[in-house]
A and B are shown apart, each in its own frame.
Chain A
Amino acid sequence: MHRVFQNKTAIFLFVFPGMLLFALTFLAPIVLSGYYSFTETVGPGTKVTMVGWENYANLLFHDPKFWLALRNAVLLGIGFIVIQHPICIFFAVLLDRIGGKAEKVFRTIFFIPCVISVVVISKMWLSLLDPTFGLLNKVLDVLGLDMLKHAWLGESSTALGSMLFILIWAGFGWGLLFYYAGVKGIPEDLYEAASLDGASGLKLHLRITVPLLSPVIAVQVTLAMITALKQMETVFLTTNGGPGDSTQFLAVYLYNKAFSASQYGYANAISILFVIVCLIATYLSNRFIRSDATEY
C-alpha cells in the first residue's frame, strides 16, 4: 500500500470540514437538547429548573400521545412496506419489460411528483381532499359513490390512511427508481434459464426478481421506517397532528410542545427519545433483514 494513503494532512483535510459541520448541526444541538431535557423551562433565556429524569418518566409512563405518535409512525412505515414497495417493484418490473422509448417516458412521468415541494404537495392535497370543493369527493359524486364521501383528512378514521396515500403518491417515484435500478442489474440470462425450467409470470418473479432485489429491498425498508418516523412537514401543513391526535407524529408533537405549549424542556426530552428511537429502528431493521444491507 502506498504511503500517500496514510498521509495525515490529507486525511485531516478530507475529514475535518465534514466532521466539523456534522458536529455543529447534529452533535452540538443534541448535547444542548440533552441538557434541556432535564429541565423545565418555557424557552432558553428564561428561568430554568432542573427536574432530573421527570420529563422522561412522564413521557414514557404518563404520556399516551408519545406512544400514539410512535404507533402512527409504525403504522405508516408498515403501510409503506406493505403497500408502496410491492407496487414499486411491480412497476419496476413492468417498466423493464416495456422497453424502448416508453420505458424512458414513463420513468420520467412517474417521477414528477417527487420534484414538487412538500409545501405545494401538502396544500394541494388539503384542497384535493377537501370535502366541499375537493376533487376526490366530486369524483365520487360523479361515479355515484356518494356514500364513500368523507372529510378525508378531517375525520379520525380516515386521516392516517389519507396521509399514507398522500405520502405514497409523493414518494412513489423514488421507490420506483431504486427498484428499477435493481431490476436493471439482474442479468437477463437468469430469467432465460428459469423460464427454460418452466417458471413464468408471477412465479418467475417470485423466484428470481424478489430474491435478487433483496439488498435493495433491505435498504429501502430501512429507509421507509426512517421516513415514517421522521414524518413532519406533510402532517404539520395538513392536519397538524389532528383531528384529535389521529395523525400525531413525534416531530409534530415535539414542535407543538416547544412552540404552542411552551414546554421547552419536555420538547427536548421528546427530541432525545426521538433520536434514540430512530437509531434503534435503523439498527433493528438492519439486523432483521440482512446484516450486509448497508453495503449497498
Chain B
Amino acid sequence: MTKQSRLARATLLTAAIATVAALSACGGSNDGNSAANGGGGGGEGKVTLRLFSNLPDRKSGQGLAEQTVIDNYVKENPNVKIDVETLAEEPFKNKLKAYMSSNEPIDITMVHGGAELNTLVQAGYVKELDPKQYEGEQYNFLPGVYKSFTFDGKLYGLPRNSDYEVIYYNKKLFEDNGVKVPTTFAELLDAAKAFRDKGIAPMSINGKDLWSFGEMFQNVVQRYSGDQNLILDAVDKKKKFTEDENFLKAAQFLQQVRDAKMFQDSFMTADYGASQNLFTQGKAAMWYMGSWEAGMATNESLPEEFRQNLGVVQFPIAEDGKGKIDDLLAWNGGGYALVSSSKHPEEAKKFFDYLMSANQWAKTAWDTGAAVPAQKYELTGKESEVQKKLTDILVNASSTAGASFIDYGTPKYKDDTQNAFGKFFSSSAKPEQLLADLQAAADTQ
C-alpha cells in the first residue's frame, strides 16, 4: 500500500511538473510578445538590462543620482533599455536572496559588502571583477575601498560610497532648548535628559532594522579602546567580547543610553523611513545614521525649515577613553555587482563600467548632494553645508574602521548579533548579558 501510494505520488509529481511546464511555455511566449511590442520602435538589437536597486525614491537623494546615470546611459546608447526594479532596504535584501536561490537573470544588482555579498559569492550569483581594470583616472577609486567586496583575494563588486556613521542634528532644536551639541558621552547623556525633559525625542534610530545598534556599539567600543580593529578581532575570535574591558565599558554605556531613554519612544518599531521622518519633521533632535544621507540637505520634499537647520557632527568621545573624535567608523558598504546569470553579460558590463566611472556615479552623487562617493571627486563650490562638513569629517579622519563588525562574519553571525542588540534594547538585560550573547554569536558563526 505505502509503496503503491509513493509510486502514485511520484507519478503525480512528474505529471504535475510536466503540465505546468507546458502551461508556462504559453506564458513565456506571451511575455516574449509583449517585450517585442514594447520595443517595437527601437529597431534592431534592442537590449533590455535589468537593474535591481534598494533606492525606491527616484526623485531625490541617491535614487535620483542612480536614475540620472541610467538616463544618461540610455540617451547615449539608444539600443539599450534599462528596467529598474526597486525595493526598500529590508524587502530588497530578502528579495535578493530569493533571486539568488532561483538564479534569476537580472544583470546588475546593488549589493551590501561583507556578509550579504559573501552569501552571493558563495552561491556564485555575482561575477568576479578584475581590479586592474578599475585602476586609474577613469574610475579613481580611493585606496582600500574594496575591503568589503573582496573574498579570498577576489573582487566581486565595487563600492558606491564612502560610508561612515555620524550624528545628524537639528540646530534649531538645540538652540531653542539651550542644549550643547554633544562632543563627549557625558554631554550626549545630558542632551538626552534635557530633550526628554522638554518632551522631545533626543535621538531617532531605526531600531526595527536593528543594524544601527550594531554600528553604534562599534562606535562606542572604538571610543573606549582607541583601537579600530579590536571589535573585528573579536568577530575573528582573536579576542573575546566577554574578556576585554573595553567591551564591558561600551555595553555599560549603551545601558546608560537605554536608561536615559535616548531613543524615540517608537524606536523598536521604527524602520528606516519612520526614524528619518521623526527627525525630518523636527520631532527628534538627532538622527544616528550614515553619510549616505547627505542628500537630506538638498531634498526639496523635506520642510525648508528643517533643511536650513540640518547639522552633522562626529560621534562623541568617551571622557575616559582612548579614541579620538577624528577616528571614524567608516567602511564601504553599499555597491554594485554584476550578476552571473545575466542574459546580456557584455552589455551589462558596459553599463556597469559606465555607472562606476568617476564622472558618472561619483560625480552625479556628489553634485546632487546625495552621498559621499568612494571615488575621488571634484569640489564644485556649490556644496551644501552638510556636504562640506561631511567632507571635512572624512578628510580629517585620523583612522578608519574599514568594515562594519556586524557584516564582518557570516550572515548568521549578523542575524544573531543584531538580535542580541534587539533583545538588549527592548528589555532590562544587563550589559554582561549582551556581551555573553555577542560572544555566543561569534562562537557559533
Contact = CB atoms under 8 A, between A and B. Distances in A.
A and B touch in the complex (CB under 8 A): yes
Interface of A: 19-21, 23-24, 27-28, 31, 42-47, 126, 130-132, 151, 153-156, 238-240, 242-246, 255-264
Contacts of B227: none
Contacts of B210: 242
30 contacts: A20-B16, A27-B13, A31-B13, A42-B119, A43-B101, A43-B123, A44-B102, A45-B100, A46-B122, A46-B124, A126-B269, A132-B264, A151-B268, A153-B268, A154-B207, A154-B267, A154-B269, A156-B426, A239-B269, A240-B208, A242-B208, A242-B422, A242-B426, A243-B268, A244-B419, A244-B424, A244-B426, A255-B94, A260-B411, A261-B412
Contacts of B208: 239-240, 242
B101 A130 contact: no
Interface string B18-42: 0110000000000000000000000
B9 A42 contact: no
**Residue among B9, B12, B283 having the largest count of chain A Cβ atoms under 10 Å:** B12
Given A28-B13, A43-B123, A45-B124, A256 B426 contact: no
Given A43-B97, A151-B269, A242-B208, A132 B201 contact: yes
Contact of B426 (A47, A130, A155, A259): A155
A153 B269 contact: yes
B419 A28 contact: no
A258 to B, nearest CB: 7
Given A45-B101, A153-B269, A24 B201 contact: no
B249 interface: no
Given A20-B15, A261-B412, A245 B419 contact: yes
Contacts of B100: 43, 45
B427 interface: yes
A-B pairs with lowest CB-CB distance, top 5: A243-B426, A261-B415, A131-B265, A262-B411, A154-B268
Given A45-B101, A243-B268, A24 B426 contact: no
A245 B266 contact: no
Contacts of A264: 101
B97 A258 contact: yes
A165 to B, nearest CB: 15
A132 B265 contact: yes
B180 to A, nearest CB: 25
A67 to B, nearest CB: 16
B223 interface: no
Interface residues of B, number: 47
A151 B13 contact: no
A244 B424 CA distance: 7
Contact of A44 (B13, B101, B423): B101
A242 B270 CA distance: 11
B339 to A, nearest CB: 13
Contacts of B97: 43, 258-259, 262
Contact of A43 (B119, B283, B416): B119
B12 A151 contact: no
Contacts of A151: 265-269
A244 B422 contact: yes
B415 A156 contact: no
B379 interface: no
Contacts of A155: 268, 426
B119 A259 contact: no
B308 interface: no
A176 B94 CA distance: 37
A130 to B, nearest CB: 5
B362 to A, nearest CB: 30
Given A28-B13, A259-B97, 7 more contacts: A42-B122, A43-B123, A132-B265, A155-B268, A257-B415, A259-B98, A262-B119
A242 B201 CA distance: 21
B384 interface: no
B17 interface: yes
A262 B412 contact: yes
A20 B423 CA distance: 45
B255 interface: no
Interface in B408-423: 410-412, 414-416, 419, 422-423
A260 B93 contact: yes
Contacts of A42: 119, 122-123, 411
Contacts of B93: 259-260
A140 to B, nearest CB: 13
A180 to B, nearest CB: 35
Contacts of A255: 94
Nearest to B90: A240
A37 to B, nearest CB: 15
Contacts of B424: 244
Nearest to A17: B19
A271 B391 CA distance: 49
Interface in B121-164: 122-125
Given A20-B16, A256-B415, A261-B414, A244 B98 contact: no
B48 interface: no
B242 interface: no
A260 B415 contact: yes
Contacts of A244: 419, 422-427
B183 interface: no
